[in-house]
Amino acid sequence: MNAAVSFMSRVRQVVSLEHDDRWLDTLRGRVTSNVELIAVSRATPESYCGGVPAGRRFDLVVVDGRHRVESFARALEVVSGRGVILLDDSDRVEYAGIFPLARQAGYRTLTLRGHKPALLGIYQATLFYRDGNALGI
């Protein structure tokens, strides 16, 4: 399940960066008018992360796609003062450098472990948050 579809009925606005044209076409038929779908290239971190609209701030940023280390760094730039960042599959070794980066920016962590829909095994996601955040944690 895509984050845009999961959140669209629960929040005022969703912005979703998508690199897969077929998946983007599928989503277009499923999302409501409060969802902005942005096609990006996954070729480089710059082309992937560059799709984030300039000057916008977000209360929740979900990092779950390509170039996650660079996407997380970009999330730190666009998350609002009360914003929370969710990193999916946060237990992967290649994402270990994200944690000190977040701590340096003043974020604490809440790690969640459990099953994903239609997948076997235990998976991990981590919320990065500060005091007074949008989720009240």
* 97 and 128 housed in the same domain: yes
- Residue 5 maps to a domain: yes
* 64 and 35 housed in the same domain: no
**pTM for the model:** 0.88
Dist CA 41 CA 100 (whole Å): 28
Domain holding 118, by residue range, is: 56-137
* 8 and 65 housed in the same domain: no
* 19 and 77 housed in the same domain: no
Q: So what's the pLDDT on residue 29?
A: 87
Place of tokens 């701030």: 57
Q: So what's the pLDDT on residue 92?
A: 95
Q: How far is CA 89 from CA 9, 27, 69, 80, 95, in A?
A: 24, 22, 12, 23, 9
Q: So what's the pLDDT on residue 12?
A: 84
Q: So what's the pLDDT on residue 3?
A: 66
* 62 and 32 housed in the same domain: no
Contact 47, 67 (CB under 8 A): no
pLDDT in tens, the chain (137 residues): 566 667 777 888 888 888 999 999 999 988 889 888 989 999 999 998 888 888 899 899 989 988 999 999 999 999 999 999 999 999 999 999 999 999 999 999 999 999 988 888 899 999 999 999 999 99
Number of structural domains (the chain) is 2
* 35 and 102 housed in the same domain: no
Comparing CA positions, the residue from 44, 60, 49 lying closest to residue 17 is 49
Residue 90 sits in a domain whose CATH number is: 3.40.50.150
